[in-house]
Amino acid sequence: MNFVTLRNLPELVAAIRLRAREQRSSLNKAVISLLQKSLGKRLRKPERAVYHDLDALAGSWSKEEAVRFEAALRDQRDI
């Protein structure tokens, strides 16, 4: 991990603190975010895995089964 020390930035620190408060993040995260935006860089979010192991079950209920299931849920939603 690399570290950077910045000195003599009183006006910037106040603005960064305000930004961090608005974003509800730490001062460090606010600085990183501002640097990334100013340099046109963004951290990529990890791609979410897509699973297809239950695809065969989707849409496989009969109308009667769906009605019974909805009726069972209706009773539980009253609680």
Domain boundaries, the chain: 10-39
- 16-39 pLDDT per residue, tens: 999 999 999 999 999 988 898 899
User: Rg of the Cα trace of the chain?
Assistant: 25
Q: From CA 52, how far away is CA 74, in angstroms rounded?
A: 29
Residue 21 has a pLDDT of 93
Q: Residue 59: its pLDDT value, please?
A: 75
Which element (helix H / strand E) includes 30? helix 27-39
